[in-house]
Amino acid sequence: MIERIGTSARMSKIVKHNGVIYLCGQVGDGATAADQTRDCLSRIEALLAEAGSPPDRMLQVVVWLADMADFTEMNTVWDAWVPQGHAPRRVPVARQYLPGPS
């Protein structure tokens, strides 16, 4: 069974399938990478709560950064947020390394 929560014409904020929860992407607001990370993680935590899951159940996270220079600052906030011993598989990607239009 598939359950969709927060569905609009183009997407669902949360999709639950066979006990796995999928969340839509989140973008954080703030002046610094740390502020943006805190805001983004707060939004993710709210979606997880709405879906009925704590952060210690995450399997995979994709982190998009505008610039890899922000990686350490983001990691400082991330490390404080992720429950110890429950780090998910994580893929950090920097926008500057994606191929642009040809």
**pTM score, whole prediction:** 0.87
Q: Which CATH superfamily hosts domain 29-97?
A: RutC-like (3.30.1330.40)
pLDDT above 70 for 1: yes
Residue 81 · residue 41 · CB < 8 Å: yes
User: Which sequence spans correspond to the domains of the chain?
Assistant: 29-97
**How far apart, in whole angstroms, are the C-alpha atoms of residue 48 and residue 81?**
14
- 5 CB-near residues (< 8 Å, 6+ apart): 12, 13, 14, 15, 16, 50, 51
Residue range 79-90, pLDDT digits in tens: 999 999 999 999
Mean pLDDT, all residues of the chain: 93
Residue range 39-64, pLDDT digits in tens: 999 999 999 999 999 999 999 999 99
E strands in the chain: 2-7, 12-17, 20-23, 60-65, 89-94
